[in-house]
Structure 1
Amino acid sequence: MADAASRLANLAEELLGGPLPVRLRAWDGSEAGPAGAPVLILRDRRALRRMIWKPGELGVVRAWVAGELDVEGDLYEVLDRLSGLLWERDGDSPGLFAAARAPRLRAAARSLLRLAGPVPPPAPPAEEVRGRSGGRHTRRRDRQAISHHYDVGNEFYELVLGPSMVYSCAYWTPGGTLEEAQRDKLDLVARKLDLKEGDRLLDVGCGWGSMALHAAREYGARVVGVTLSREQATHARKRIAEEGLTDRIEIRVQDYRDVTDGPYDAISSIGMAEHVGAVQYREYADVLYGLLAPGGRLLNHQISRRPEPDEAAYAIDPFIDAYVFPDGELAPMGRTLTTLEDAGFEVRDVEALREHYALTLRRWVANLEADWDRAVRLVSPGRARVWRLYMAASAVSFERNRIGVNQFLAVKTPAPGTSGLPLRTRAWTEGTD
C-alpha cells in the first residue's frame, strides 16, 4: 500500500481529465500533487470507502464529519480550489461528482477498491439526521427539522454568533465589528418596516429574540415572536426579562401557520423562509398576507440560489439536508418575488446583500476556530466539524455567486390607495453611508 497518495492522485486525474488543484496526503504518510498547494488529508482508508460506497457529496462529508478527511492550510482556499470540481460545471466539464458516476469509474473501480480495502464503510456519523417522519413540511416534521439544527445548545450558538445572537446576514460598513453589523441589520429591518411606538410586529422565526428586543427597545413596538425551537424560546424569554421588556414582547413556541391573532402592522421574517419549502411557500405568503393590516409591511430576508437550467432537476443539497438544515430548500430570487405577488403583496423594494453574508460567515467561522476546544466540549467533535465546513463552504458559495441573500420589502397595499412608502427616496437609507 506504499505511496497511496500518488495512486489516488493518478486515479483522480484520470477521472477528471486534468491535474488536481490541491495536494493529497494519504493514511500511509505519502503525498502527491502540486507543491505548495493546500493539503487534503485522508487520515484513514475508511474515508475512501465512504466515497466509493456513496459517490458524491455525502460520502465526502461523512468522511469529513468523522475526522477521516481533513485540511492542512487555508480551508477557504481548499474549498475555492475544489468548487469547480465538486459543485460547479465549467463548460463541458461534468465536475468530480458527476464524473464519479460516469462509466469510466468502473474502469478504475478495481484500483480504488484495492486502495480502500474490501470492507464496507462504517455507519454514518451520529450527527447525520435520522428518523424523519411524516411528509416533508408537515408541522411535525418541521418541528423535528428545526430541533435538529437549533436545539444543540444555546452556549454553542453564543460561541459562534457572539453576543448579538443573530443568526442571519449582518449589514457591514468597512472596519465595523460583527456586533455593529448585526445591530445595523436589525435597524435596517426596523426602518424598512417603518416601526413606530405601539406598532404590532410579528417576528416569524424569531430565533433568540434579537429582532424582537431591538424593535421593542429602540422603536417602542409591541412584538410577538414565534419559533419552533424550545431552546431558542427559553433563551429569548430570559433576555427579554433581563431587559425589563416582558410587557412589550411575547415569545411563543408556535408554527407560523397557527398564528391567528392578527392583524399586525408589520411582519419580519429573517432567515426563516428557507425552512418553508417549495411546496409550502405559497401558503407561507398567504398566511403572512392574511395576518397584516391593510397598509402593513412585510420584510422577508431570505437566501436564494441561482436558477437551474432545468428547474425540474433541482435537488436539495445532500450535505445541508443530512447534517445542517433538514428539508431546507432555496429558491431563485425571481420565484420568491412572484410568489409574494401572487399572494397579493406589492413588492416595493429588493436589496441584495450577497457580499455581506460572506463577511458574516467568515466572522462566525473565526469565532468557532478561536474557541474550538470549548465548541467540541459543548456539542461533539463531529458537530463542530459540521458547522465549520458548512459555514466556510457557504462563505465561498456567496463569494462565487452560487447563492445570494435578499431583503424583499412587500406591502399589503390598500385598494385603492398608495403603499404609504416614500414617493422618491428610500427613507431607511437617509443619514447613512
Structure 2
Amino acid sequence: MADAASRLTALADDLLGTPLPVRIRAWDGSESGPPGAPVVVLRHRRALRRLLWKPGELGLARAWVAGELDIEGDLYEALDLLAGLLWERGADAKDAVHPIRNPALRAAARELLTIAGPFPPPPPPPEELRHRRGVVHTKRRDKKAISHHYDVGNDFYSLVLGPSMVYSCAYFEDADTTLEEAQRAKLDLVCRKLDLKEGMRLLDVGCGWGSMAIHAAREYGVQVTGVTLSTEQAAFARKRIAEEGLTDRIEIRVQDYRDVHDGPYDAISSIGMAEHVGSTRYREYADDLYALLKPGGRLLNHQIARRPERDESAYHIDDFIDRYVFPDGELAPVGRTLATLEEAGFEARDVEVLREHYALTLRQWVANLEARWPEAVRMTSPGRARVWRLYMAASALSFERNRIGVNQILAVKTPEDGASGVRLRPRRWG
C-alpha cells in the first residue's frame, strides 16, 4: 500500500470539513499531517477495520487497547485535539463518522476498505468485558462488575496510586503538593467534615484498600466498619490494618452495602463508590444509608458528576468506559444526587467542588504508570495497562475542561428538633 497516510489524511479532511489537527503515520512507513503535531501511529490495518465496524470511541478504543493504534508526542494534547474534533462538536460531528447517517461516509468507507482490506472485524481485545443484557445493579452483577475493575491486582494499583492506596480525588493545597500529602489531606478533610470523635462508629462504604478506615481509626479513635465487594481489596486492607495494630478498631467485610444491617452508625463515608450504584438504585442507596445513621449522624458522599444534558433521555454511558473500565457505572448531575439524598430525608449542609483537584490527581497517577510502564505490563497485560493509561489521561482532560466534576456533599440526618449539629460557619472544619 503506497502512501496510506496521505490517503487517510485526505479522507479525514473531506469527511470532517476541516484539516486533521494530528499527523498520521501508517503501517507502510508513510506520514502525513501538520508538522510538529502529535502523531497518531497506525501500526496495522486492523485498526481501520475496527473503525469501520465500530465508528467512534469504541472502535478507536479497541485499536488502542490492541496496540494497533498509538500516540507519539504529548498524549494529553493528542486526546484534546481528537476530542475537540469528534466528541465536542455535537450530534453533527458524531453523524459525520457514522456511515448510516452520513452518505458521504459510505463512499469513504469503500475507499477505506481498499486501504484496510475487506476482512471481517477483528475480535475485541481480551480486556473488553462482553456486553451484557438483563437487569443491571443486582447484587450478583454488581459484584462481578466491581471484580472486573478492582481485582486487577493490588501490586498494579500500588504502582499507580502510590503508598496512600487511595483511589479517589486528592485534595491539593497547591500544584506543588505531593500526591501523598494531598491524599492525606483529603482523608483528613472527610474526617473533619464528619466531625469524628473518639469512640464513634463509622461506616466506610466502598472502603477500598482501607486507607480511610485506617486514617479515621488511627487519627480520630473511631470504630470503623469498612465494606467492599472486592476480595483483593479486603485482603490487602486487612493486612495493612494488622500491620498498623488497628484490628481492634477496624472490621473489613466483603459485603454489599445493601446487606449492612448493624446500625445505627454515628457517621458514614462514601468516597468514590456511589458512581457504581446506578440511577435505578440511587434512591435505595440513599434510603439505606439514611436508615443506618443515628439522628444527627452525618454522611459524606464524595462522587463524580457529569454535566446535565438538555435532553436527559439522550444521555448514554460511554462505550469505552462501560466495556473496559467501569462496567455498569453511571454518572449523574450533582443536582440530581442532592435531590435524591433530600428525598430520602437527608438535609444537605455543604457541597464542595473538587474538579481541578481530580485533574491533578489523575495526571500524577498517569505519571506513576508511565514511569514504571514495563512493570505495569508485567503485572497485568499490555492491553490492561493501555486501558488504564487511556482512561486516566482522558479523564484528566475531562475534569480540566469541565465535562465532568467531582463533589463532596455533607448531609445530615437532622433530628425532629432541627438541631443539625453543624456550625454556623461550617467551612471552618475541626
TM-score band, normalised by shorter chain: over 0.9
Q: Residues 12 and 20 of structure 1 are in contact (CA less than 8 Å); yes or no, is this contact kept in structure 2?
A: yes
Shift of 1:95: 7.2
Equivalent residue number for residue 383 of structure 2: 382
Tell me the residue number matched to 1:36: 36
- Match of 1:78? 78
Correspondences of 1:101-180 after superposition (within 5 Å) = 101-130=101-130, 132=132, 134-174=134-174, 175-180=176-181
TM-score by length of 1: 0.97
Secondary structure, in 3 states, of the residue corresponding to 1:159? helix
Give the equivalent residue in structure 2 for 1:290. Answer: 291
Q: Distance in 2 between matches of 1:96 and 1:377?
A: 39
RMSD of aligned Cα (Å)? 1.4
Identify if the C-alpha distance between structure 1 residues 340 and 116 changes in structure 2 by more than 3 Å, giving closer, same or farther.
same
Q: Compared with structure 1, are the counterparts of its residues 166 and 266 closer, same or farther at alpha carbon in structure 2 (3 Å cutoff)?
A: same
**Do the aligned residues in 1 keep the contact of 2:87 with 2:94 (CA within 8 Å)?**
no
CA distance in 2, matches of 1:182, 1:56: 35
3-state SS of paired residue (1:289) = helix
Equivalent residue for 1:341?
342
On the 8 A contact 2:170/2:186 being kept in 1, the answer is yes
What does residue 359 of structure 2 align with?
358
- Counterpart of 2:11 in structure 1 is 11
Give 5+ residue unaligned stretches, structure 2: none
CA contact 1:88–1:95 (8 Å) conserved in 2: no
SS of 1:211's equivalent?
helix
State the distance in 2 between where 1:120 and 1:277 align: 35
Distance 1:379 1:100, change over 3 A: farther
- Conserved? CA contact 2:96–2:105, under 8 Å: no
Contact 2:25–2:31 under 8 Å retained in 1: yes
2:414 maps to what in 1? 413
How many residues were matched structurally? 429
Secondary structure of residue in 2 paired with 1:71: strand
Residues 351-388 of structure 1, C-alpha deviations (whole Å, 9 max, x = no match): 00000000000000000000000000000000000000
Equivalent pair of 1:132/1:141 in contact (CA under 8 Å): no
Q: Letter of the 1:156 partner, please give it.
A: F
* Helix, strand or coil at the partner of 2:148: helix
Q: How much has 1:424 moved relative to structure 2?
A: 2.7
What residue identity is the alignment partner of 1:26? A
Contact 2:86 2:93 in 1 (8 A): no
Name the CA shift for 1:376/1:101 in 2 (closer, same or farther; >3 Å).
Answer: farther
Q: Deviations over 1:50-95 (max 9, x none)?
A: 0001112111100000000000001001011111123212696557
Q: Would you say the 8 A contact 2:202–2:265 is kept in 1? A: yes
Q: Distance in 1 between matches of 2:338 and 2:398?
A: 22
Residue 377 of structure 2 aligns with an amino acid whose one-letter code is V
Q: How far apart, in 2, do the equivalents of 1:129 and 1:260 lie?
A: 32
Shift of 1:173: 1.4
In the alignment, the residues of structure 1 paired with residue 96 and residue 81 of structure 2 have an alpha-carbon distance, to the nearest angstrom, of: 13
Over the matched positions of the two proteins, sequence identity in percent amounts to 78
Structure 1 consecutive aligned stretches of length 4 or more whose deviation exceeds 3 Å: 90-101, 131-134
Task: Give the conservation status (yes or no) of the 8 Å contact 1:57–1:319.
Answer: yes
Alpha-carbon distance in 2 for matches of 1:211, 1:11: 52
Counterpart for residue 256 of structure 2: 255
TM superposition score normalised by structure 2 = 0.97
